[in-house]
Amino acid sequence: MNLRRVWVQCIKELVEFRRDRLTVALAFALPVAMLLIFGLAIRLQIKNIPVAVQDFDRSPFSRDFIARIDASGELVAIAEPLDRSPTALLQAGDVRAAIVIPPGTQRAIAQGRPAPLQALVDATDVVNALTIKQILTAASVFVGAAYAPPSVASYVPARVALHERIWFNPGGNEALYIVPGVYAVILALYPTMLAAIAMVRDKERGTIVQAYASRLRASELIAGKCLALECIGLAEAVAIMTIGFAVWGVRFAGDPLPLLIGTPLLVCCQVLLGLFIGAATNTVTSAIQASGTVNSLLAVLLSGFMYPVFAMPLFFQWLSYIVPTRHYINITRDAFVRGAGWPSVWSELASLALTALVLAVGAWLPMRRMQMTD
């Protein structure tokens, strides 16, 4: 490999990139917009689920019960007229559950008889449904115990007192969870796309023939483009991490070194993936659509960014090991939130390095002959 040729190829890419003002602007505007939207708007914590309550009992118990539900912050109890059926309430779609407290509930509890408290839950959104169930169950046990006869309630000694502690982010600050994840997703999406464009553009314009005719070798072509896009990707990384610090105060929790090594590695993986996609397609549109749709959904959804990887079917858990974002997300979350450093992330760095190697070969293979395809 001739380093001078690599360098020249890199400069050529950067000059070409700089010439298209709109692309330069979007290469930075897209990541920043995404960071801001995710950081400011997206909240996974469930709250304010509207639930209808039909209180036929009108007793101290029912009032306590409703107050308890409301106090959870996750549910908002809305008193509904008693003549509408729970099914009709759900069908209208304004509430996610209909709770019916039948007449005589308090009396039944006080007499130790089973009380017919009922809830119809809209299970369209499964997470909502389970949260509603959790809160209703907890509220009935808690409030029910206060109204139950001594033989039922106070006879049960509490055998366990659970003391919970949430480490690293005790305030449950969601930006602290979302923002380091968005860093990983952004650095997965955009460098890949720009790399795919850089690779396929020459092909579409036909100027790749000049490269084929020259003494440039496939490895030099790929190394040159990779180097140029690595610079762009790192510039994006610096931009979003600076904004993350300025807006949400996301700062290093521990040793920054793994992140400083991991970021170039991830960008390298993504750029090589993009070059591979560019080498395998023939038009800018198909290259970007391939990298955009497939990669965005994989990076966003199978990386553990929003939903935990360990809840997926086993096959996808294995599959996620080859998604570079999954490893990098652990590195960013460790660097900015946990702060454990090397012992917890060295394996992620090793995986990234290995992936980069595999992808480099992958990008090189379709280009190695430096010939036109038919």
Partner 1 sequence: MSGAFSWRRFLVLLRKEFIQIMGNRQVLYILLFPPIVQVTILGYAMSPLVKHLTIAVADESKSPASRRLIDAFTANGVFVPQGALDTTAGVYRAVQSGTVDAALVIPADYARSVARGAPGDVQLVLDGVNSFVANISAGYAALIVQAYNARTELPPPLSPQITFAYNPGLVTAWFFVPGLLGAILMITGVLASGSEGIREKDEGTLEQLLMTPASSLEVLLAKIAPLFVLFMIALLASIALSRLIFGLPFRGDVVLFMSISSIYIVAAIAIGMLISTFAATQQQVVLISLFTALPLMMLSGAFAPIQSMPPFWQTLSLINPLRHYITIVRDVLLKGTGLDVIWPNVLALLAFAIVAMWISAARYRSQLR
Residue list 261-290, contact with partner 1 (CB under 8 A): 281-286, 288-290
Among 11, 58, 168, 358, binds partner 1 (CB under 8 A): 168
Tokens representing residue 43 in the block: 């909240």
> Nearest distance from residue 138's CB to partner 1, in Å?
6
**165 contributes a contact to partner 1 by CB under 8 A:** yes
Residues 186/34, Cβ–Cβ less than 8 Å: yes
Residue 206, phi then psi, degrees to nearest 5: 85, -5
List the interface residues with partner 1, window 128-157 (CB under 8 A): 128-134, 136-138, 140-141, 143-145, 147-148, 151-153, 155-157
Q: Which stretch binds partner 1 (CB under 8 A): 214-222, 256-264, 305-313, 352-360?
A: 305-313
Q: Which stretch binds partner 1 (CB under 8 A): 208-216, 227-235, 270-278, 337-345?
A: 337-345
List the interface residues with partner 1, window 196-255 (CB under 8 A): 197, 201, 204
Q: How many residues bind partner 1 (CB under 8 A)?
A: 122
Chain-centroid distance of CA 121 in Å reads 27
List the interface residues with partner 1, window 15-54 (CB under 8 A): 20, 22-23, 26-27, 29-30, 33-34, 37-38, 40-50
**177 contributes a contact to partner 1 by CB under 8 A:** yes
| Identity of residue 222 | I
Residues 331/344, Cβ–Cβ less than 8 Å: no
List the interface residues with partner 1, window 47-76 (CB under 8 A): 47-50
Among 67, 79, 238, 306, binds partner 1 (CB under 8 A): 306
Residues 217/211, Cβ–Cβ less than 8 Å: no
49-55 and 75-79 beta bridge pairing = parallel
**176 contributes a contact to partner 1 by CB under 8 A:** yes
- Tell me which DSSP letter residue 82 carries: T
Cα→Cα distances 261→187, 211, 245, 258, 330, Å: 14, 32, 19, 5, 13
Tokens representing residue 51 in the block: 């639930």
